[in-house]
Structure 1
Amino acid sequence: MKSGFIINRLICKGNDLEEVYIDFDPNAHVIVGLSNRGKSYIFQCIKYMLGSQEKPKRITESEGYQYCFLEITLFNGESKTLCRSLDGGDAQLYECKYSEIVSFSESPITLRVGKKATKTVGLLNDYLLDVVNLKNKKVRRNLSGNTDKFSFSFMRHLTLIDETSIIKESSPILTEQRGEETKEKSIIRFLTTGKDDSGIISRPKKEVILNRRGRIELIEQLIDDYTSELDSYSYSSQDNKELNEQIDKIESSINELNNKLYQQYDRVKEYELAIDGHFKDLKENESRLVIIDELLSRSKLLSQHYENDIDRLESIYETNILFSELQLVNCPACRKVLDTSEHLECDAEDISRINTASVIEIEKINNLITELDVTQSNLELERYELLVKIKNNRDGYLEKQEQVSQYTSCDIKDNIDKLDVFKNKLNNLKQISHIFEKIDSLIYQKSNYKKEIDPLNGNYDFDDLTTANMTELCETIKVLLNDWNYSDVDSVSFSELECDLVINGENRQLAGKGYRALSYSAFIIGLMQFCIKNNRGHSGIVLLDSPLCTLRSKYVINTNNIDKKDIIMDSTKEKFYSAISQYKGLGQIIILENDAPAEPSSLELGFTEFTEDKNLGRYGFYPVS
């Protein structure tokens, strides 16, 4: 089984009261006992725990019991426990066995019942649909094609059959609720074919049609407005493909121009780097020229000083020569008489030393002048070279600037102008394309609205439940009926008119109560086995209340008031119990009955008997004092 679950245990709990529970066999379990011992209460509790808003009826024995728990095992082996208050309300989901709840560290998950989901709280219905692999499915509910999202409750009348419904004369497929027949047929068709009605487009309501017609009129006016706007662009072609080709060509041209401009800007950068180099060299050379001019100016002053010094020294030298040839009375230096013994500070040799020193100093100065002349010559040469370099720098600077200016004003400007033209044209074409897109979108909306008004152009012939759909299921039901010794069943088919089984050529509803109950059971169990074998979504459980007890032969006195067609023989009962005990891996069958199999211990099924005897076995579902 690839989806669904089985029921492990049903528990009712109250404060300071003994827990009551019943453990179920995973394949088949029979609970027997006379009326009013708790069988119907078990049915109500299971139905309640699987999402029904109808609370179990309060019976005397249930006073003080507040909570109901249902432990289940999913198809993948995981154990879960559902909990609901017997007074109603939402469910709590524990992701563990019932016995592990006490030590379970995580908080239970709240699942809403009979309400809408919120951002933080989900639905019990959605959880169960996930488990049985039926979430996000849809079934058609009327002849107009309107659909309902599949709910777990849609399966309730096909899995949980009470003692009243099991003998009804009407179809087991239909609940006889007003307006539900189409949906209930769609449910069976979905289960037997595996195809739901998600793809159906339904016929809209009258107010929707009026709304859509108003929108169509508005769309047509918008289309006219956009068509008039197209005329203002003087665009002759109505071919959107041709327009897109033009846009592609212009975009290609724009990309080419952009690439050229990038290359031209790179060349301008090269020119600018060259201009910067010339400018830098120019400023460096001009700075050096200023320094050279300053050095030459200073060297000229220094040369003048040297010449003045030489003149002074030569004057001293000539004066000393002249002075040595004169006959003087007094010393020119100290004003004393030269020939007296009192003239001690000066000596005639001093003049000779002065002359010698002057000659030596003049030689030094001449050497310095020679060196200065060399320096001045070098500076003058460097100055000349600098002037040449400065002129070349200035000429190169002006030349590159002229080249950049011409390149920018001509080539780059031409390409920029072309680019602007292309961009303007591209913008216009894109505007036209945008208008085309709006018109196409409006036409598409108009088409959808027309389809919504009449999606199938008046043809609403939806897939329906047919005899062909039911053929394989009918074969499964035939096998079950023969297993149970229903009678010699040669054929089982489906009547589209009655929406019911035809057994050996006779409508099921014409059979007696007992055999209607048995054939109803075969349909319910057969549907479960069919779904499991074919990987269709199904809960994996069926619960049948009193499929055999109606007019059982051992309780019937042969009178004219009883039709023999109503009577189920003991042999059929025993065959039924024996057969269901052998169905392994095809779902869980739970039977609530008045009469037990002759030897339940010899059968491979779970068995619980309510004895209604305080001193023998289990009295009922609830204990009695």
Structure 2
Amino acid sequence: MAVNQMNEMIQIKNISFLGAKVTPALIGFDQSLSVVCGASDTGKSFLVEAIDFLLGGKELRRIPELDGYDKARISIESSEKGLWTFERSIEGGNYRIYQGNIEAATDVKESGTIKMKHAAGREDNISGWLLGAIDLLSKYVRKNASGDCRSLSFRDIARLIIVNEQEIIRTDSPFLTGQYVPKTAEKSTLKLMLTGADDSAIVPADTSQQSEANDQAKAELLEQWIADVEDEVTEYGFGRKDLEEQLEKLEQSISSSREQLQLAQSQLYEMTTQRREIVKNREAIKDRKDDIADMLERFNLLKVQYVTDLQRLMAIEESGSLFVHHERAHCPLCGASPEVQHSTEECDGDVESIVIAAAAEMEKIKKLASDLDSTITALHDESARLSDDLIEIEKQFSGVDSEIKSAIAPELSDMQSNYSEFVDTRSRVISHLSVFTRLDKLLAQRDELFGDAEEVEAGDKKIATKLSTQVLHDFSKTVERILEAWDFPDTGSVHFDEATMDFVINGKLRGNRGKGLRAITHAAATLGLLEFCKERSLPHPGFVVLDSPLLAYYKPEGEGDSLQGTSLKQKFYKYLIEEHSDSQVIVVENEHPPGSFEGQLGMTVFTKNPQHGRFGLFPPRETQ
């Protein structure tokens, strides 16, 4: 495909970071296609941010690798102004400028300074210098529906040519930031790029400046709140639909987990109740055995007492019998002589009565001893049975206790842990969803107060930005041609939807595709704008920087978002090599280009290995 050369263009030769006590970090770029690829966390995406910062961006993200560096440089070659190097503190502020490409040299005298802040029609600032180099100085874009205009800044164009990893996957238009206040200026900037005509001819409508100022202040405040909430959404990396689906699944999981938990708790309660009954029975048996042991001990003492009493009574009986049959003599009790004894009368010394009484008592004690022996035998038998029962009940206890400890209790603990985790996750999801609720309220409030900035009602004095249907058709065909050349799946017809300021590809809005396909189609839109301007000799910086356009190859959202197995990667690089030899394209990617293109493009590989190749954007620090 033959294209016309743009009137004026600029190219980035290199950027560098310098510090008094650190090794300079310098990286150069090819005049056509440059690819920076390799390991993660090596500074690839930071490189894109640094290019934007050095071309007038407001702030440079602070990363640990920046420690020790205090300034950065970018060398730019302009077909209009020649080769210059711009130096800026990493904290921001104005620039020192040097004629030529000084790279990391420190003994070069500066040629002057330029300012960071844009000033209309002046080239003593970075924005004006760059605009002057591409014949866009002193151009104006409309900033509101009343027709008020402001001078074009290079920052208006920068986001159309430098696409970082967050921007390239956004669901919104590739040409809009998604913020309310600058939307009109962003549309006007795109119109300027596509037509070459600015808005300086517009005569503003007669409106109250104070009212407009108040409305603008309100809009800016709301926009800041909206931006803060959107940043919060971006920081957490969640989507409303994903969160709602996750919340629905969590509610189902919590309900199911609650039922399982209640069942497990019921089982545990039954088992613990059973164990408690077993323990109660076991203690009752042990108490009864202890009682039997105590009784046996007392009964043994009683048995000994019975034996002692029997022995004593037997002694009385035997002594009495001998005494009755012994010859008469003086009474051993009262000392009376035989002739005066009253043997026929009863007295305290009636031995025969004592013997009879002793014999009767012995019979009584023998009967009691016999009953005692029976009782002791019965108690021993009962104690033996209780011992057998105790062994059986101990087995029951061990079985139930083991089941509780090894099965039910751990299972219940896991269920409780899972349930708690589900509930905690649900709380986080609800908290995340509340962010979207806040965003909805802010957006509704903004729409209620201001409506659509581009809406034109009958009799209203608002002026709408309208793009030529033919221009949009031709622009769409340029993007369609690129996608076809890349062999993009499901290409079909491409047309530009002015309502969303985005492309509809084969009937499907570009922003509604997966993030990988959004990335590659965003790259096509960015390159399409460059080619459209080249074909018509319209002003354009002549270079683009793309961060992770081939995301669908190595990190797709799902099967429908994947380009693995297709030839798009091969044809993507082939197209850039063949069709952009006269314009500069800088691609930052994780994966290397196909090996078949070796030598046809400028490639820098960040290895993250201090012993092999280039470590990263910044050299590795020496360990002490």
Range class of TM-score, shorter chain: 0.5 to 0.7
Q: 2:35 matched to which residue of 1?
A: 30
CA drift of 1:126 comes to 1.0
Number of residue pairs aligned between Structure 1 and Structure 2: 371
Please tell me the root mean square deviation across aligned C-alpha atoms, in Å.
Answer: 2.8
Match of 1:198 in 2: 200
Deviating more after overlay: 110-119 vs 183-192: 110-119
1:535 to 518, 537, 541: 537
1:349 corresponds in structure 2 to: none
Instruction: Tell me whether 1:87 sits opposite 2:91 in the alignment.
Output: yes
Look up the match of 2:497.
495
Aligned match for 2:470, one of 459, 468, 471? 468
Task: Specify the SS of the correspondent of 1:596.
Answer: coil
Matched residue, 1:598: 594
Identity %, equivalent residues: 30
Q: Assess if the C-alpha contact under 8 Å between 1:478 and 1:489 holds in 2.
A: yes
Distance across 1 between alignment mates of 2:518 and 2:188: 23
Which runs of structure 2 are paired with 1:355-394 in the superposition (5 Å)? none
Q: Which runs of 5+ in 1 are unaligned?
A: 211-455
Contact kept? 1:529, 1:586, Cα under 8 Å = no
Q: Shift in Å at residue 510 of structure 1?
A: 2.3
Alignment match, 1:69: 73
Range moving further from structure 2, 188-197 or 461-470: 461-470
- Higher-Rg structure is 1
Distance 1:172 1:569, change over 3 A: farther
CA distance in 2, matches of 1:581, 1:47: 24
Change in 2 beyond 3 A, CA 1:156/1:23: same
**Contact 2:118 2:128 (8 Å CA) reproduced:** no
Q: CA deviation at 1:28?
A: 0.9
Q: Deviations over 1:48-100 (max 9, x none)?
A: 11001112x23222211122111111124721111101122211121212159
**Paired residue for 2:116?**
113
Residue 578 of structure 2, aligned match among 570, 577, 582 = 582
Paired with 1:611 and 1:132, the residues of 2 have a C-alpha distance of 36
Question: Do the aligned residues in 1 keep the contact of 2:205 with 2:461 (CA within 8 Å)?
Answer: no
TM-score normalised over the length of structure 1: 0.56
Q: Which amino acid in structure 2 is aligned with residue 530 of structure 1?
A: F
Change (3 A) 1:80 1:565: same
Q: 1:209 to 1:11 in 2, by over 3 A?
A: closer
**Which one-letter code corresponds to 2:587 in the other structure?**
I
Whether the aligned pair in 2 keeps the contact of 1:467 and 1:494 (CA below 8 Å) is no
Matches within 5 A, 1:511-550: 511-550=513-552
Shift in alpha-carbon separation, 1:117–1:535, aligned structure 2, 3 A: closer
Where do 1:83-232 residues align within 5 Å? Answer: 83-98=87-102, 107-114=110-117, 122-206=124-208
Partner of 2:551: helix, strand, or coil?
Answer: coil
Distance (Å, rounded) in 2 between the aligned partners of 1:585 and 1:576: 14
CA distance 1:476–1:66, shift in 2 (3 Å): same
Specify the alignment match of 1:216 in structure 2. none
d(CA) in 2 for partners of 1:64, 1:600: 40
- Letter paired with 2:497: S
- Paired with 1:606 and 1:590, the residues of 2 have a C-alpha distance of 9
Letter in 1 for 2:51: I
3-state SS of paired residue (2:14): strand
Pair 207,25 (structure 1): closer, same or farther in 2 beyond 3 Å: closer
TM-score between the two structures when normalised by the length of structure 2: 0.56
**Cα gap change, 1:99/1:565 in structure 2, threshold over 3 Å: closer, same or farther?**
closer
Distance 1:584 1:116 in 2: 33
Which residue matches 1:58?
62
Post-superposition Cα deviations, 1:227-262, rounded to whole Å, max 9, x if no partner, equal: xxxxxxxxxxxxxxxxxxxxxxxxxxxxxxxxxxxx
Q: Distance in 1 between matches of 2:84 and 2:586?
A: 19
* Match in the other structure for 1:78: 82
Q: Determine the structure 2 residue equivalent to 1:312.
A: none
Whole-Å separation in 1 of the counterparts to 2:509 and 2:99: 46
Indicate conservation of the 8 Å contact 1:514/1:568, yes or no.
no
2:201 is aligned with what amino acid?
Answer: G
Mapped partners of 2:160, 2:527: distance in 1: 9
Partner-residue secondary structure (3-state), 1:189: helix
Compared with structure 1, are the counterparts of its residues 603 and 494 closer, same or farther at alpha carbon in structure 2 (3 Å cutoff)? Answer: farther
Please tell me whether the aligned partners of residues 14 and 74 of structure 2 are also in contact (alpha carbons under 8 angstroms). yes
| AA aligned opposite 1:517 | A
What secondary structure, in the 3-state scheme, does the structure 1 residue paired with 2:520 have? helix
| Secondary structure of residue in 2 paired with 1:48 | helix
Please say if residues 72 and 88 of structure 2, whose CA atoms lie closer than 8 Å, have aligned partners that are also in contact.
yes
Partners of 2:187 and 2:467 lie apart in 1 by 6
